[in-house]
Structure 1
């Protein structure tokens, strides 16, 4: 199943007898909080989940967006009305970079059917579809989180992946090269990592490029569907977008899933002995 769903297909599903659970995951690195957008209007039936406080543990030694504990995540998903039987669709403002965090966490938790709305809220509204400020009444569920259904690596494993596999840095090129660093204490990237900016996978309107185009970008970085691959970013959010892109391109799947360095650069830089490379990696 493609990890993306079009606006038209979602509209059809929502009109059916068994609509998917909708998660509003609008979020911005520098704010304001996504809940403000949700309270103004959202897709009918959507439940807001906060990326900073519900899809992440508190910031600290593990980075700015550490993975939440399985029990905490289970409580969030139960509150949102998620069951193992119903499909889940997550959306954000446009390009899926935040919704992919919910997509990946649900997959990591063992949910079999999760997708991200292609183009997000912006594409939904552009097609003339309805929005509402009404907050739905949700019946809590007994959804069971099965943790570690997708692979996660630590800093040492990320360093090894850069040497004997493919470690992809999903940040913007200028952050990867160390020319700017707006949030973390040091600039640069993990030595040996290749830059795979998440923004390269989408068009200007926030919709995703065709799978073959995304696959071509990854193949230029040596990712062919058989090599070992892991992704990271600033804090583990847009790295999930890179994982979604790999699956969308057919280069990651159940037989050879790519891994997430969840702490990402915000964790890597907590240890001053870990090296930081600037410029391009050959």
Structure 2
């Protein structure tokens, strides 16, 4: 199934009057004003989705900064956005789909097949000269019925052993992987054995995803191949979903570690490696 919908295809759907639920997931680490940005301008009819409260349960150290919400809570949110079982859903943001991919993954995980990321997001829509609107959009409650387990996921125990039989990718910025900075989590560094694969490298300069063959080349160069299972984490399980979308575009399936480094680093029994290599210098990890 397709992961992306481009601006032209979305515009054609809307012009033809085909039912399409647009969801605006404006969120970025360090910017709590997503709803304000949405109210200033958004795609016509798009409903705002609050990542912090609708795509995550309250933060707690043992589960990380953005734990997945209970299925019943997520279903209630999805219905409040006006989503019905047979709808086509298109999610977007204004940061290269780094936040919208969380919604894409969660809907796919919940068994909802017809969900797409708007390639290039708000910036691409705006660049094409298409109409925008301001203020809140009103949605009529939908009837979507969700399930669980549609996408592969792993826990901390599996993440600890993953490098022994597969490839564990760290989707955060390189400086966080190396442990040079850590703005939010209690320890700096990465899960021992993980390979640095910053999510930003999935995108062109204009915020659209790289073509499929370029993504295949990128991930193959990192060690991804069909015979080895791949898993991905980030800081709190948000941008790792973007990496999984990019891997899917490239033709590689991958599992998400939802708790990610925010969960991992809060457990003092978990080792943390620093530096550019998967394991700490000398083959040991810093506790």
Q: Does TM, normalized by the shorter one, top 0.5?
A: yes
Q: CA deviation at 1:17?
A: 3.0
Q: CA deviation at 1:223?
A: 0.8
Structure 1 match to 2:129: 128
Q: Which runs of 4+ in 1 moved over 6 A?
A: none
Q: Secondary structure at the match of 2:91?
A: strand
Structure 2 match to 1:255: none
Q: Deviations over 1:179-216 (max 9, x none)?
A: 11111010000011111110001012211110110111
Distance in structure 1 (CA, Å) of the matches to 2:245 and 2:175:
22
Instruction: Give the structure-2-normalised TM-score.
Output: 0.94
Structure 1 match to 2:157: 156
Structure 1 match to 2:283: none
Which aligned pairs between 1:64-83 and structure 2 lie closer than 5 A?
64-83=65-84
Q: CA deviation at 1:69?
A: 0.6
Contiguous gaps of at least 5 residues in structure 2? 279-287
Distance in structure 2 (CA, Å) of the matches to 1:26 and 1:152:
24
Which aligned pairs between 1:82-97 and structure 2 lie closer than 5 A?
82-97=83-98
Q: CA deviation at 1:275?
A: 0.4
2:184 matches 1:183: yes
Instruction: Give the structure-1-normalised TM-score.
Output: 0.96
Which aligned pairs between 1:98-109 and structure 2 lie closer than 5 A?
98-109=99-110
Q: CA deviation at 1:241?
A: 0.3
Distance in structure 2 (CA, Å) of the matches to 1:34 and 1:226:
40
Distance in structure 1 (CA, Å) of the matches to 2:73 and 2:226:
33
**Contact kept? 1:191, 1:281, Cα under 8 Å:** no
Structure 1 match to 2:284: none
Distance in structure 2 (CA, Å) of the matches to 1:29 and 1:94:
11
Which aligned pairs between 1:135-150 and structure 2 lie closer than 5 A?
135-150=136-151
2:30 matches 1:30: yes
Structure 1 match to 2:14: 14
**Contact kept? 1:94, 1:123, Cα under 8 Å:** no
Q: Secondary structure at the match of 2:52?
A: coil
Structure 2 match to 1:57: 57
Q: CA deviation at 1:159?
A: 1.1
Structure 2 match to 1:4: 4
Q: 2:265 aligns with which of 263, 269, 280?
A: 269
Distance in structure 1 (CA, Å) of the matches to 2:246 and 2:226:
12
**Contact kept? 2:109, 2:150, Cα under 8 Å:** yes
